[in-house]
Amino acid sequence: MSDNYRTTVGKVQLVSLTDGHFEPVPTDVFQDSDIETWQSEYSALMIDKDHTQFRFGSVAIYSSSKIVVVDTGAGPNGCLIDDMGAKGVEREDVDFVLITHLHADHTGWTLLEGEPTFPNARYLVPKDDYAYWTQPNVISNAPNIANDVVPLKSLGVIDLIEPKHIITSELTTVHTPGHTPGHTSLAISSNGESGFVLGDVAHSPAQAHYTDWNPNFDVDQELSRETRNQVLDELEEQGILVQAGHFPEPGFGHFSRENNRRYWQGV
Ligand SMILES: [Zn+2]
């Protein structure tokens, strides 16, 4: 295993984790896009003529003697727990599990045989997402909420967090709504350096340039575009190190600009 799955932001250490991959036809996901653009401009993101690849990524963050895992992958058939083991992240040592939002590809490993997978952790869930996804007409179409999320409440391990929640002095959540109502990213600030865990503000490096391409599973399409444009502008301007869970391994990189076109510069 190469070592590019680790990086630092000031004194904070980050370990990129992967649960698996999903290989859709990109125009099924981004209905504003066309396959010719994918094939001509983003052939590097295509695994064959018709399919791109999304990673189910998580990240372990070591900050101020705490360990925070952001998102828990798609679940039981994935390799997150094995990947953590291979990279030396012990689930018993995790203090906080931050779920950026309550889609099934982010809540997969919250529980293991009915018990918290991270037995000593508080599970931090954006309260606006919990409220949205537990509505009767919504939860009936999202089985992962009843399976992976609601039990965390009965087990007493969930903290429903406000949009701006301070986890450690170096880690603060940022409300980035649109993909889901409570969607949350994470700002890292340590020793004069900055980092940002993107969550699902973007799903593909192609959105660095085509920021208006929304995945069809965004809850609020207009707000999602607005948030993506605003967040990516800021990350580009400030040259902030980004961790993007759905981008190719290891998902660390920067949004940069060349010839009036923004692109993703992965490490
Ligand atoms: Zn996702």
Asked if residue 1 belongs to a domain, the reply is no
* CATH code for the domain of 209: 3.60.15.10
| 90, pLDDT greater than 90 | yes
What is the CA(106)–ligand 1 centre distance, in A?
6
What is the CA(259)–ligand 1 centre distance, in A?
30
What is the CA(105)–ligand 1 centre distance, in A?
5
Q: Answer whether 88's CB lies under 8 Å from 163's CB.
A: no
Q: Which domain holds residue 175?
A: 6-266
What average pLDDT does the chain have?
97
What is the CA(180)–ligand 1 centre distance, in A?
10
pLDDT tens digits, one per residue of 157-199: 999 999 999 999 999 999 999 999 999 999 999 999 999 999 9
Asked if residue 100 belongs to a domain, the reply is yes
- Total domains present in the chain: 1
**CA 264 to each of CA 49, 240, 248: distance values in angstroms, whole numbers, following the listed order:** 21, 12, 11
What is the CA(98)–ligand 1 centre distance, in A?
14
Report the candidate in 192, 143, 250 with the shortest Cα–Cα distance to residue 264: 250
pLDDT on residue 3 = 84
| 1, pLDDT greater than 80 | no
What is the CA(1)–ligand 1 centre distance, in A?
25
| 49, pLDDT greater than 90 | yes
Mean pLDDT of 199-217: 97
**CA 200 to each of CA 16, 152, 180: distance values in angstroms, whole numbers, following the listed order:** 16, 22, 9
Asked if residue 117 belongs to a domain, the reply is yes
Task: Determine what percent of the chain is predicted with pLDDT higher than 90.
Answer: 98
